[in-house]
């Protein structure tokens, strides 16, 4: 009698080969994506100023990052731009998502599809368009222009996340509140916003992260003295990739990972609530 394992040998061998090839492909893609980032983080602790010459472990470059007045100024500008633009885009994006979810009007589907335009349009096109618009209306370039430019694409991310949250709970809750005599503003304040809170918080975190990390749009719309952190990194890298640049880029990467992870955690916790 032929054993089951022997009878299925060729097919089982082919399945194992496909599985191993798939695993190898997956690990290869992950290595291609994240190995350069790992190398950057490792060499941010290199005692040598030369990128490919390891001379020992040190925290000197991180100390220089935290004590540099130019970097401190760039961080301050970045926080001002990101906090203001995130606050504005969160309010506008939430209002837009709530309005489109609960009200029907001509052009509603067209406006809803417009959510995706700032996400789909290449950053270089959006940057040139914003710069041309500011020049057309004679708007001065500076931190204010960067804030407006960031709001233009942050709204879409906030609106999409809030709308996805709004779709997760039934409209019967809103109808019940209305039947009990609640005014429209009270329904929004006591029913809609608390239920949409996870999406609002997650959208704000994503918008804040995108604003902090943005280089291209900020570079095109920034004026003199309005250097943000990514622009500062770009100016530093013109002199070569130094451990200071690696340290600053590593800190920015860690910040992005933490905020995006926090937004995912908020959405997951929100989806588990009744």
The residues spanned by each domain of the chain are 4-43, 62-272
Query: Which of 27 and 173 is assigned the larger pLDDT?
Result: 27
Cβ 37 vs Cβ 246: under 8 Å: no
Confidence of residue 104 (pLDDT cuts 50, 70, 90): confident
Q: How far is Cα 195 from Cα 208, in angstroms, rounded to an integer?
A: 22
Confidence of residue 18 (pLDDT cuts 50, 70, 90): confident
Other beta carbons within 10 angstroms of residue 138's beta carbon come to 6
Cβ 26 vs Cβ 223: under 8 Å: no
Q: How far is Cα 252 from Cα 75, in angstroms, rounded to an integer?
A: 10
| DSSP assignment of 178-194 | HHTT--HHHHIIIIIHH
Give the model's pLDDT for residue 89. Answer: 95
Confidence of residue 78 (pLDDT cuts 50, 70, 90): very high
The contacts of residue 213 (CB under 8 Å, 6+ apart) are 230, 252, 256
102 alpha-carbon distance from chain centroid: 27
- Locate 253 and state its tokens: 């990467």
Classified as helix, coil or strand, 238 is coil
Q: How far is Cα 62 from Cα 45, in angstroms, rounded to an integer?
A: 8
Between the alpha carbon of residue 24 and those of residues 13, 17, 31, 60, the distances in Å are: 16, 10, 10, 38
Q: Is the pLDDT of residue 218 over 50?
A: yes
241 alpha-carbon distance from chain centroid: 25
Q: How far is Cα 118 from Cα 96, in angstroms, rounded to an integer?
A: 15
Q: How far is Cα 61 from Cα 64, in angstroms, rounded to an integer?
A: 5
Classified as helix, coil or strand, 46 is strand
pLDDT for 106-151, tens place per residue?
777 777 777 778 888 888 999 999 999 999 999 999 999 999 999 9
Q: How far is Cα 159 from Cα 152, in angstroms, rounded to an integer?
A: 12
pTM: 0.80
Confidence of residue 39 (pLDDT cuts 50, 70, 90): confident
Q: Report angle CA 170, 175, 181 to the nearest 5 degrees.
A: 150
Give the model's pLDDT for residue 184. Answer: 66
Q: Is the pLDDT of residue 90 over 90?
A: yes
| CATH placement of domain 62-272 | 1.10.3720.10
Q: What does the pLDDT average to over 67-96?
A: 93
| DSSP assignment of 93-122 | HHHHHHHHHH---TTHHHHHHGGGHHHHS-
């Amino acid at each position: 009698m032929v054993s089951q394992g022997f009878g299925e040998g060729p097919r089982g061998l082919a399945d194992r080969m496909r599985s191993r090839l798939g695993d190898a492909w997956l690990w290869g893609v992950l290595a291609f994506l994240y190995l350069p980032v790992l190398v950057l983080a490792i060499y941010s602790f290199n005692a040598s100023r030369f990128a490919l010459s390891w001379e020992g472990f040190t925290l000197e470059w991180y100390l220089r990052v935290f004590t540099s007045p130019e970097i401190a100024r760039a961080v301050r500008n970045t926080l001002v731009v990101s906090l203001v633009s995130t606050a504005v885009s969160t309010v506008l994006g939430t209002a837009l998502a709530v309005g489109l979810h609960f009200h029907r009007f001509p052009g509603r589907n067209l406006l809803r599809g417009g959510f995706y335009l700032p996400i789909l349009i290449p950053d270089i096109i959006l940057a040139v368009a914003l710069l041309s618009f500011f020049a057309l209306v004679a708007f001065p370039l500076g931190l204010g222009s960067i804030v407006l430019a960031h709001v233009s694409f942050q709204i879409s991310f906030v609106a999409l996340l809030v709308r996805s949250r709004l779709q997760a709970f039934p409209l019967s809750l809103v109808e019940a509140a209305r039947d009990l005599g609640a005014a429209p503003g009270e329904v929004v304040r006591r029913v809609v916003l608390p239920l949409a809170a996870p999406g609002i918080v997650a959208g704000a975190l994503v918008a804040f992260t995108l604003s902090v990390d943005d280089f291209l749009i900020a570079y095109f719309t920034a004026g003199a003295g309005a250097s943000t952190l990514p622009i500062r990194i770009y100016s530093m890298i013109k002199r070569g990739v130094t451990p200071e640049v690696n340290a600053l880029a590593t800190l920015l990467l860690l910040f992005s990972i933490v905020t995006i992870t926090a937004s995912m955690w908020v959405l997951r916790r929100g989806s588990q609530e009744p």
